[in-house]
């Protein structure tokens, strides 16, 4: 068909294009927006991925991630109370779900190498520069400056800062983090980005921290499902957590984990400036 030149073929292709039917485009905008609210699905920056820290810090950072997680513990309560509590559970950025089967957990045995999408270890000043919210530190309790500060600029959106204090007299090491105290803060969106799931024999108490709502998790260890290095929430990325206070300060959501009583935890939380 030598009489056909390329211009004919091109013309025919343009004509074909006009009547070509692609399958309907799915509503990607809604799906994408929902995923962005969940947080990154991949390690945010190569820099974060390259970061190595001493083995001890590694486990601490694991705990830090818990702030952005699902936690699970079981509430010991009558079904009626359970429902009543469930209705009011949840803070900006963290939903709390009560009941359901406990998720499988990863080992938290010493030396477990959980290579998660951790933040970068930086100075407090650097962390403050990197995130879009004022980073609070405890003002009382004789804690002093944190021994280590981690920042993650992408998990969740808006960034997250983890402050870690080593265990010491009066600040016993958590069986779950090895740290004396771990405080995580991020700007929680009104829509929960993370779900805390409470199952088992744990206790969840509604508390007030400086007049704002919070929850104290205690009793049995509860579960946190955290994001792996790629930012994915996976069932196998679940660890046990000790006593934990989560609370809100304006549009900040904070989380404090350590072997502390409720009163001690609230006292530290309220001192944060």
Partner 1 sequence: MEGRPLDDQELVEQARGGDARAYEVLVRRYQDLAFRTAWVIAGGSADAEDAAQEGFVKAWYALPRFRAGSPFRPWLLAIVANEARNRRRSGRRQDDLALRVAEDRPSGDAAPSPEAAALATEQRRLLLAAVGRLGENDRQVIACRYFLELSEAEMAAALGCRPGTVKSRLSRALERLRAVLAEQDAAAPTTLPGGDR
Task: Give me the residues that bind partner 1 (CB under 8 A), please.
Answer: 1-2, 4, 6, 8-17, 19-23, 25-29, 31-33, 35-37, 40-42, 44, 132, 154, 157-158
Q: Report, in Å, the least distance between residue 160 CB and partner 1.
A: 14
Distance in angstroms (rounded) separating the CA atoms of residues 170 and 76: 29
Q: Among 272, 245, 240, 267, which residue's Cα sits nearest to residue 258?
A: 245
Q: Residue 45 Cβ, how far from partner 1 at the closest point, in Å?
A: 8
The three-point CA angle 165-113-136 to 5° equals 25
Of 154 and 185, nearer to partner 1 (C-beta) is 154
Kindly state the smallest distance separating residue 264's Cβ from partner 1, in Å: 35
State the Cα–Cα distance between residues 269 and 122, nearest whole angstrom: 22
Report, in Å, the least distance between residue 49 CB and partner 1.
13
Task: Compute the least distance from the CB of residue 46 to partner 1, in Å.
Answer: 10
CA distance 265 to 42: 33
Q: Which is nearer to partner 1, 23 or 80 (CB)?
A: 23
Distance CA 171, CA 163 (A): 14
Report residue 135: phi and psi, to 5°. -85, 125
**Least Cβ distance, residue 154 to partner 1 (angstroms):** 6
Nearest to 135 by CA among 113, 108, 153, 118: 153
Residue 116 CB, nearest approach to partner 1 (Å): 17
Residue 92 and residue 190 in contact, taking contact as beta carbons nearer than 8 Å: yes
Query: In this complex, which beta carbon is closest to partner 1, that of residue 3 or of residue 87?
Result: 3
**Identity of the residue, 34 or 84, whose beta carbon is nearer to partner 1 in the bound complex:** 34
Cβ neighbours of residue 223 closer than 8 Å, sequence gap 6 or more: 70, 71, 72, 73, 102, 103, 105, 197, 199, 200, 238, 239, 240, 241
Nearer to partner 1, 14 or 109 (CB): 14
State the CB neighbour count (10 A cutoff) for residue 263.
10
Considering the complex, state which of residue 29 and residue 109 has its C-beta at the smaller distance from partner 1. 29
CA distance linking residue 242 with residue 221, whole number of Å = 5
Judged by phi (left if over 0) then psi (alpha if -120 to 50, else beta), residue 28 lies in: alpha
Please, which residue, 37 or 228, has the CB nearer to partner 1? 37
Q: Shortest approach of partner 1 to residue 7 CB, angstroms?
A: 9
Task: Name which of 31 and 112 has its Cβ closer to partner 1.
Answer: 31
């Amino acid at each position: 068909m030598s009489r056909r030149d390329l211009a004919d073929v091109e013309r025919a292709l343009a004509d074909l294009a006009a009547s070509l039917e692609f399958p309907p485009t799915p509503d990607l905008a809604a799906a994408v927006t929902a995923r962005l609210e969940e947080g990154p699905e991949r390690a945010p920056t190569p820099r974060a991925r390259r970061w190595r820290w001493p083995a001890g810090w590694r486990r601490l950072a694991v705990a830090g991630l818990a702030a952005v997680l699902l936690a699970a513990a079981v509430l010991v309560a009558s079904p009626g109370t359970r429902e009543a509590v469930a209705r009011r559970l949840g803070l900006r950025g963290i939903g709390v779900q009560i009941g359901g089967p406990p998720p499988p957990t990863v080992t938290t045995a010493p030396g477990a190498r959980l290579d998660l999408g951790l933040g970068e270890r930086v100075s407090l000043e650097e962390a403050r520069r990197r995130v879009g919210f004022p980073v609070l530190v405890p003002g009382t309790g004789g804690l002093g400056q944190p021994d280590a500060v981690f920042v993650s600029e992408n998990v969740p959106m808006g960034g997250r800062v983890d402050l870690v204090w080593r265990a010491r007299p009066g600040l016993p090491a958590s069986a779950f983090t090895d740290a004396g105290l771990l405080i995580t803060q991020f700007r929680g969106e009104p829509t929960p980005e993370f779900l805390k799931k409470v199952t088992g024999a744990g206790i969840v108490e509604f508390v007030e921290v400086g007049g704002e709502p919070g929850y104290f998790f205690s009793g049995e260890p509860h579960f946190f499902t955290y994001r792996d290095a790629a930012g994915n929430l996976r069932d196998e990325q679940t660890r046990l957590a000790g006593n934990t206070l989560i609370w809100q300060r304006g549009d900040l959501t904070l989380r404090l984990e350590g072997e502390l009583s409720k009163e001690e935890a609230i006292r530290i939380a309220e001192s944060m400036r």
